[in-house]
Amino acid sequence: MTQNDRARVAVLLGGLSTEREISFKSGRAVAEALRSRGHDVVEIDVQLDIDQQLRASGATVAFPVLHGKWGEDGSIQGLLECMGIPYAGPSVFSAALTMDKVATLRLLEGNGVPVPKGVVWTAEKGVPTLAKLPVDLPIVVKPVREGSSFGITIVTEEKQLAPAVQTALELDERVLIEECLDGPELTVGILEGQALPVVEIAPVDGWFDFEAKYTKGATAYHVPARIDPVLAERVQAIGREAARLTGCLDSCRVDVMGGGWRGPRVLEVNTIPGMTGTSLLPMAAQATGIDFAELCERLLKLARLRNVRP
């Protein structure tokens, strides 16, 4: 019997971010999967009294399944470090780093991982115009620290630019304005240092916005991706390298776009990606014979504190 078999696992879900509802879906699925494997699981909706909730629950290990701010950004991980509760998923540092798309992309770029060309915009810079930007239409405008495509606009005409930046500024004080890449849209899951088969994302209409992500049938997924094996290997290699550089080799999902002569580019690293039975990381794991319950259990077994305790 391992330590985790005797543990009481607190699956942390819900939370305070814009992605609260998505987190409930993922968190409940993880809790159910761990219970199916015989684990003692409590589900805790993360609110401002989370420290008291954790203490009262008798949890000996935590499994954060929180997306976005106050969960995927190092906050909860920091609390768990301070409370001495080992936890699954990213460390404080990896979570905080990868929540910030700009910090992540600059780190990757500086280490030879291809990323889209982009620039940061803030309210102090005034009204954005194309003349002030190093990228040309079409462009993508997104909040620096969000997820689930919240606040993202694909701008195809200059008149859409200022409203798009305004929309993103409502969610974050920094906005990333990026060149718009051509497909294919791909994502690569990393598990225990290995890249899983690449998943291809093919929205039926338009781009991979919130609706395409969460409406049944709105997006077709292909695993393995219907791409040249050489491109697939390249995507796996840059995904693994992105995970290594950001400290997410336990597990993460690296979103990638493009192929062709320019090659694939990393859009972002997700440290706590969607975790329902039909989400992308579980889908990729399934393609290698790792079912959802096994995936959750493997992630739980990696739970630990990352800081040295005083």
Which of the listed partners (ligand ATP, Mg ion, none) does 146 bind, with a CB threshold of 5 to 8 Å by partner kind? ligand ATP
Stretch binding ligand ATP (CB under 6 A), from 8-16, 103-111, 140-148, 228-236: 140-148
3-class SS of residue 212: helix
Give the DSSP letter string of 140-186.
EEEESS--TTTT-EEE-SGGGHHHHHHHHHTT-SEEEEEEPPPS-EE
Q: Is 188 helix (H, G, I), strand (E, B) or coil?
A: strand
Per-residue burial over 228-252, b if 16 or more Cβ lie within 10 Å, else e, is eeebbebbbebbbbbbebbbbbbbb
Q: Residue 116, interface with ligand ATP (CB under 6 A)?
A: yes
Q: Where in 230-259 is the site for ligand ATP (CB under 6 A)? A: 255, 257
Catalytic, 19? Answer yes
Query: Residue 31 and residue 3: Cα distance in Å, rounded?
Result: 18
- List own/partner pairs for 303-310 with CB under 8 A and 24 or more apart: 303/4, 303/61, 303/62, 303/63, 303/86, 303/87, 303/88, 304/86, 304/87, 305/80, 305/81, 305/84, 305/85, 305/86, 305/87, 306/81, 306/91, 306/92, 306/93, 307/81, 307/92, 309/84
Q: Which is nearer to Mg ion, 19 or 255 (CB)?
A: 255
Catalytic residue among 15, 146, 200, 253: 253
DSSP string, 5-39: HHPEEEEEES-SSTTHHHHHHHHHHHHHHHHHTT-
Residue 148: active-site member? yes
Give the active site residue among 214, 221, 241, 306: 214
Contact of residue 202 among Mg ion, ligand ATP, none (CB under 5-8 Å per partner type)? none
How many CB atoms sit inside 10 A of residue 152's CB? 21
Per CB under 6 A, the segment of 30-38, 120-128, 178-186, 236-244 that binds ligand ATP is: 178-186
Q: Does 71 bind ligand ATP (CB under 6 A)?
A: no
Distance CA 141, CA 153 (A): 5
For the question of residue 270 being annotated catalytic, the response is yes
Nearer to Mg ion, 37 or 214 (CB): 214
Rank residues 169 and 305 by Cβ distance to ligand ATP and give the closer one.
169
Interface with ligand ATP: number of residues (CB under 6 A): 19
Binding mask 30-69 for ligand ATP (x = CB under 6 A): ----------------------------------------
- With CB under 6 A as the contact rule, the residue among 62, 181, 188, 256 that binds ligand ATP is 181
Q: Which residue, 93 or 210, is less far from ligand ATP as judged by CB?
A: 210
Measured from the CB of residue 258, what is the shortest distance to ligand ATP in angstroms?
8
Distance CA 166, CA 293 (A): 42
Among the listed residues 71, 118, 147, 274, the single catalytic one is 274
144 belongs to the binding site for ligand ATP (CB under 6 A): no
145 flagged as catalytic: no
Supply the residues annotated as catalytic.
Answer: 19, 148, 214, 253, 255, 268, 270, 274
Q: Where on the chain is the footprint of ligand ATP (CB under 6 A)? A: 116, 140, 142, 146-149, 152, 178, 180-181, 185, 207-208, 255, 257, 267-268, 270
